[in-house]
Amino acid sequence: MSVAVANKSKPFLHLIGSKRRIVNKLIEHLPQGPHYNYYEPFLGGGALFFQVRHLFKQCFLSDINLDLITSYNAVKNNPNEVNRLLSLYHKHHSKDYYYKVKNKYSNNPNEITAKFIYLNKYSFRGIYRVYKNGQSAQTFSGECYIKLHIASRINQCSSLLHGVSIYATDFSFIEPKKGDFVYLDPPYHQSGERFYARLPGVICFQIIALPSLETYTKTSSSLILNHILYQ
């Protein structure tokens, strides 16, 4: 498939393991012919999805990170409110304010999303990270990683997410059919992912089953899969 068919949209988040720099290479491995459904069960930042969304009739995105999925749904459904909150955070930004936002609890989806994006953009190296126990490992950075175009990027991502099904669940719930495309980019083995690390047999079974459908691709840097399939 020609890279020229790719959209130029960028994700609204930057997570460890992002495939932004190699997304064109990934696009080269998309199947030829008609496109049906797209599945990405280890969603993360969604670098590939945002560039190829227009090629698929339906898309199913999922991840076990609840805050991440909450953010995707809020960007999809309430981009204006998310942008309003981000603008407020940006206006009051300081080291003290950063930790105030970080330590504040909220069950409001829009506030969860604005906090998630804000910490992502203003933390050290502008990357989201957590400890093995699931607690945030982000620390304040003196540099400003948030860009003036974050609002337009969120609006663009919101448009691309229209009509997309987004779930907080693990990868084993996907049910692709022949002709569908499944992109697998699981967490790095050395990351200490607290859920998938306990299910190597399930991951192995799932990946072995998919090739018979001719529906999947995985990134070469997906070390969990490489470790399981080739040890």
Q: Which residues of 208-222 are buried (b: 16+ CB within 10 A; e: fewer)?
A: eebeeeebbebbeeb
For residue 197, is it within any domain? no
Q: Which residue has the tokens 């940006």?
A: 90
Residue 191's φ and ψ, nearest 5 degrees, are: -80, -15
For residue 1, is it within any domain? yes
Q: Tens of pLDDT along the chain (231 residues)?
A: 444 455 678 899 888 777 777 788 888 877 776 678 999 999 999 999 999 999 898 999 999 999 999 999 999 999 999 999 999 998 898 889 999 998 899 999 999 999 999 988 888 766 666 666 666 667 777 666 565 678 999 999 999 999 999 999 988 788 888 788 888 887 755 444 444 444 444 444 445 445 545 555 555 444 333 333 333
| β-bridge partners, 40 | 61
Structurally, the chain folds into a number of domains equal to: 1
For residue 119, is it within any domain? yes
Q: Which pair of structure tokens corresponds to residue 109?
A: 């989806």
For residue 95, is it within any domain? yes
For residue 26, is it within any domain? no
CATH of the domain at 137: 1.10.1020.10
For residue 49, is it within any domain? yes
For residue 65, is it within any domain? yes
- Listed in sequence order, the residues at least 6 apart from 13 whose beta carbon sits closer than 8 Å to its beta carbon are 45, 46, 68, 71, 116, 117, 120, 128
Q: In angstroms, what CA-CA distances link 152 with 16, 145, 156?
A: 23, 16, 6
Q: 52: domain range?
A: 1-13+37-169
